[in-house]
Structure 1
Amino acid sequence: MTFLDDDFLLETDFSKKLYHDYAKGLPIIDYHNHLPPDQIASNYVFENITQIWLAGDHYKWRAMRTLGVKEHFITGEAEDHEKFQKWAESVPYTVRNPLYHWTHLELKRYFGIEELLHGNNAQEVYNATSELTNSPNFSTRTLLGKMKVEVVCTTDDPIDHLEHHQQYAKNPSRFGLFPAFRPDKSFAVENPITYRYYIQQLSAVSQVNIASFDDLLQALKQRIAYFHDNGCRLSDHGLEQLYFFSHAPYDINTLFKKVTSGALLNKEETHYFKFRTLLELCKMYHAKGWTQQFHLGAMRNNNSRMFQKLGPDTGFDSIGDYAQATALSSFLNELDSTDQLSKTVLYNLNPNDNEVFATMCGNFNDGSIRGKIQFGSGWWFLDQIDGMEAQMNTLSNMGLIATFVGMLTDSRSFLSFPRHEYFRRILCNLFGKDMQKGILPQDEAWMGKIIQDICYYNAKDYFQFPSLS
């Protein structure tokens, strides 16, 4: 079998049939990513491949640092062609890492380049690709159209004005662009100075004088309504873990005044503030009919020296080993007990939590919505063959994979959408191998329907985006 041919990752005839006849041609609903909405609204054209491919991609940055590439050529002041050269020299050493597959899939799907990237052909590839990227045929909207993207959900803070989403809505392309509400900073009380400044910003944009915890909730409620009016149907949270308190050990307004006056909260006070704020937010989501997403388990900013130099989201995060089950169960149950539990997608970063999350979902599926509580796709460090297969096998064994809403890019790059192809090939191969072994019936039409649902139709029905309803 040739590397990256039409049957890449497809090991049986059934796998090939499922992918080519049922999965391959479906549109993409990318319900969680970190693409900049201003570049979509303006139909931005990148100057060269480095700007579209390497800027902001901390996956690639980690690999380059591991290979001894100096920061000058990663996030530093090196010329774009020099940065690309260093990445090209690194690529052959990424074998067996998903970066190797993603790199060559992206070169092939967007640019038609089938040769393997390495240091010796770096300049040639740089010139050829940059000539293409620096043209209207490779603008942001055109790139999304090439991949048959139907929905893009960006990740947006409550203080964002959403002017770029509004600009896009006035002159849309063939896909929907919607915000997703990411309010983590509204309860990030670890740094009182930063938090107080954030509250000032939130007060200004919401036009609510935030002098108490109740005022904070009113401001957030106002922003949720504003986001909803601009097409938002999802919230998202990136947390180490959820917290739960069965009783109130502190007065929440006292804590709010304490932190906004510049005083540090202790660990338990911090956890209680996060719990109370998030709980109230989740009730607001339910009132709007939104889906809530919880990305749990990342241990962020481990390298303090590099954090001070480069800031967050630059490649110094890892898997955490936080306890998840008890507080997660109690938190979801608290919302469910008053029938205020929204549709929920749970993502774990630690693979040891696969079974915990998969079985937790089943506790709160109440028959009201098909697949109401979702075990989310393999995320971040688990976004690779083993991680995705493990997630899908666990979901199959302990839940119903037939209701799964499928893949997302979670990416900052406009060239990342072949990750949906990667997922679809892995999914079809899992089913195809089971059909070959007789573990599943060789009913192509029915298995093909399940595949299509997971790749596209489940997400379309589940999220109910305005343009798809």
Structure 2
Amino acid sequence: MKKFIDENFLLQNVTAQELYHQFAKEMPIIDYHNHLSPEQIARDVNFENLTQLWLYGDHYKWRAMRTNGVDEKYITGNATDYEKFEQWAATVPYTLRNPLYHWTHLELQRYFNIDTLLSPATAKVIYDECSAKLKTPAFSVKNLLRKMNVKVLCTTDDPTDSLEHHRRIKEDGFEIKVLPAFRPDKAMNVDDVAGFNNYVNKLQEVSGILIATWSEYLQALKTRHDFFAEMGSTVSDHGLEQLYAVDYTDAEVKNIFRKLTAGESISQPENIKFKSAMLVQFALWDHEKNWVQQYHLGALRNNNSRMMQTLGPDTGWDSIGDFSQAKQLSKFLNRLDHTNQLAKTILYNLNPADNELLATMTGNFNDGTVAGKIQFGASWWFLDQKDGITKQLNTLSSMGLLSKFIGMLTDSRSVLSFPRHEYFRRVLCNILGEEMENGELPDDINLVGSIIQDICFNNAKEYFGW
């Protein structure tokens, strides 16, 4: 009987196997967007058990457990860690054909050398073995990262963050670069006026700038942008339903800010004008510093208001949205390009119906100054599975240059998620290997292999300057 996840997992032809094992497998990892905890890295944490490492904060698994009929007590509730793991183990057999099934067993193999399938029958043995290993120095957070050959990773950080943990990581001489990424979503979220004012107050405290006007607000944010740069950041990131790019005047934005800080409600057109102005400001600062700016587009968040009120955001109640992307995205990029102030940009979309839209949009603003200056980013969130990865790669190949693609990232909160790079590399090698065997690509293993190595590591290294 064929072993599940053997050395040729997802590699369905001989050429794909050669491409992966000879060219892709040993390439280092640059993970330029994730949600790992800088504090856990700085402290070089040893987790007490597999639940804490695997299930705390992982809303992918939470959604699957809920769909399997698991009570919230065993997901985000007060059940014991082992009781929660039991419920996850009971769910795993029912995740067949969901990427969670592959990821779960890849992680057990790559980190713990366990190739037993997880189920209720094997839960206790696997939990005990993994938890015992996690308590040893070899399984600290830093060593887990070393085990996966990670060279650089970027966390996701709010402008008001002190970055104290990044400072400690650097001072400790950790050889893996752990860099902050500037994520100012809260700084432009005026959907909640009270929450926005709380944010202004917090920004005032950390910047040391008294904020009473729009210009002072920008000044305070700019000092934080400068501070991130001093701490090694060269990347920004935005999580948006769509790009906002309506026309506005400084006078209008100043008045909107005045109304907001006075606690007054604003109209929807004013809301969009404010967000449009903020996005332009952030983009200009990114260009000034030669940063890379990332835009994650298309998520419809917090759909379940009852559970949002109970558990808060990022707990598994988001989905793909069907927003109109093209005109505003074009207008935003063109505004910056018109004055030659468009930074290197990565566009991620969550709706596969928009793949061709974004892939062709990148070509409008690739001006020859940088290879792949505007990137159609890796398949994201609900799409970072075999079918989604394949569609993204095929679209990019058809409408851009796959050879200049900067590759995969984890977008994860778990330090165990790095086998997703392997998963991506196997899918990539399988696609190209099949086309080589079909005569659709040249039978030149070194040519195709070198392009694979570029996609896996070299392109990102050059693009980000790391």
- Fold agreement, TM-score > 0.5: yes
Aligned residue in 2 for 1:112: 113
Other-structure match for 1:205: 206
Counterpart position of 1:340: 341
Q: Tell me how far apart the structure 1 counterparts of residues 93 and 267 of structure 2 sit (CA, whole Å).
A: 48
Find the residue that maps to 2:122 and give its secondary structure. Answer: helix
Letter in 2 for 1:154: T
For the Cα contact (< 8 Å) 1:190–1:264, is it kept in 2? Answer: no
> What is aligned with 2:430?
429
Tell me how far 1:419 sits from its aligned partner: 0.3
Alignment of 1:385-464 (within 5 A): 385-464=386-465
Secondary structure at the counterpart of residue 202 of structure 1: helix
Q: Does the 8 Å contact 1:237/1:294 carry over to 2? A: yes
Question: What is the Cα deviation at residue 43 of structure 1?
Answer: 0.5
The residue type paired with residue 130 of structure 1 is: S
Q: Decide whether the 8 Å contact of 1:157 with 1:183 is kept in 2.
A: yes
Taking only aligned residues, the RMSD between alpha carbons, in angstroms, comes to 0.9
- Is 1:19 matched with 2:12? no
- 2:119 partner amino acid: H
Letter in 2 for 1:386: D
Aligned twin of 2:152: 151
Name the SS of the counterpart of 1:120 in structure 2: coil
**Cα displacement (A) at 1:261:** 1.2
1:172 is displaced (CA, Å) by: 2.5
Q: Tell me what 1:328 maps to.
A: 329
2:247 match: 246
1:10 is matched with 11
CA distance in 1, matches of 2:267, 2:423: 44
Q: Secondary structure at the match of 1:151?
A: strand
Q: What corresponds to 1:28 in structure 2?
A: 29
Counterpart code for 1:234: V
Q: Does structure 1 conserve the Cα–Cα contact (< 8 Å) formed by 2:283 and 2:342?
A: yes
Q: Which runs of 5+ in 1 are unaligned?
A: none
What secondary structure, in the 3-state scheme, does the structure 2 residue paired with 1:29 have?
strand
Preserved CA contact (<8 Å) 2:49 2:131: yes
1:209 positional shift: 1.3
**Secondary structure of the equivalent of 1:294?**
strand
- CA distance in structure 2 between the partners assigned to 1:245 and 1:310 by the alignment: 34
CA distance in 1, matches of 2:101, 2:296: 25
Q: Determine whether 1:188 maps to 2:189.
A: yes
Q: Distance in 2 between matches of 1:73 and 1:189?
A: 35
Larger deviation, residues 162-171 vs 199-208: 199-208
Tell me the equivalent position of 2:285: 284
1:62 alignment counterpart: 63
8 Å contact from structure 2 (residues 244, 279) kept in 1: no
Q: Distance in 2 between matches of 1:305 and 1:205?
A: 34
- Percent sequence identity is 56
CA distance in 1, matches of 2:225, 2:53: 31
Query: Cα distance, 1:208 vs. partner?
Result: 1.5
> Helix, strand or coil: the match of 1:181?
coil
Contact 1:15 1:428 in 2 (8 A): yes
Amino acid at match of 2:117: L
Q: 1:296 to 1:250 in 2, by over 3 A?
A: farther
Alignment check: 8 A CA contact 2:29 2:150 kept: yes
State how far apart, in whole Å, the 1-side matches of 2:184 and 2:247 are: 23
Shift of 1:247: 4.7
What does residue range 208-357 of structure 1 map to in structure 2 within 5 Å? 208-248=209-249, 251-357=252-358
> Is contact 1:92–1:118 with CA below 8 Å preserved after alignment?
yes
Distance 1:278 1:51 in 2: 36
SS of corresponding position for 2:209: coil
* Aligned counterparts of 2:25 and 2:319: Cα–Cα separation in 1: 32
CA contact (8 A) 1:30 1:408 kept: yes
Contact persistence 2:50–2:134 (CA under 8 A): yes
Matched with 2:381 is: 380
| Residues 152-191 of structure 1 aligned to structure 2 (within 5 Å) | 152-191=153-192
Matched residue, 2:92? 91
The structural deviation recorded for 1:250 is: 6.6
Q: Is the 8 A contact 1:191 1:264 kept in 2?
A: no
Moved more, 202-211 or 179-188: 202-211
Cα distance in structure 2, aligned partners of 1:264 and 1:145: 50
Please give the alpha-carbon distance, in whole angstroms, between the structure 1 residues aligned to 2:55 and 2:204: 36
Question: What letter is aligned with 1:191?
Answer: D
1:241 aligned partner, one-letter code: Q
Question: Residue 20 of structure 1 aligns to a residue in which SS?
Answer: helix
Q: Are the aligned partners of 2:286 and 2:343 in contact in 1 as well (CA < 8 Å)? A: yes
Q: What amino acid is the match of 2:18? A: K
Gaps of 5+ in 2: none
Distance 2:321 2:284 in 1: 28
Q: Does 1:40 align with 2:41?
A: yes
Listed one character per residue, the Cα deviations across residues 371-426 of structure 1 (whole Å, up to 9, x for unaligned) are 00000000000010110000000000000000000000000001000000000000
CA contact (8 A) 1:434 1:440 kept: yes
- Cα contact 1:145–1:174 (8 A) shared by 2: no
Distance 1:249 1:279 in 2: 12
TM-superposed CA distance for 1:207, in Å, is 1.4
Q: Does the 8 Å CA contact 1:298/1:349 hold for their aligned counterparts?
A: yes
Q: Is the 8 A contact 2:160 2:206 kept in 1?
A: yes
In the aligned structure 2, how far is the partner of 1:382 from the partner of 1:25? 25
Query: How far, CA to CA, are the matches of 2:437 and 2:363 in structure 1?
Result: 29
1:250–1:269: 8 Å Cα contact kept in structure 2?
A: no
Q: Secondary structure at 1:119's aligned position in 2?
A: coil
State the TM-score, normalized to the length of structure 2: 0.99
Alignment partners' CA distance in 2, 1:192 and 1:106: 42
Check the 8 A contact 2:241/2:321 in 1, yes or no. yes
What's the secondary structure of 1:362's corresponding residue? helix
**Cα distance in 1 between the residues matched to 2:253 and 2:207:** 21
Distance 1:210 1:17 in 2: 60
Separation in structure 2 between the aligned mates of residue 359 and residue 249 of structure 1, nearest angstrom = 32
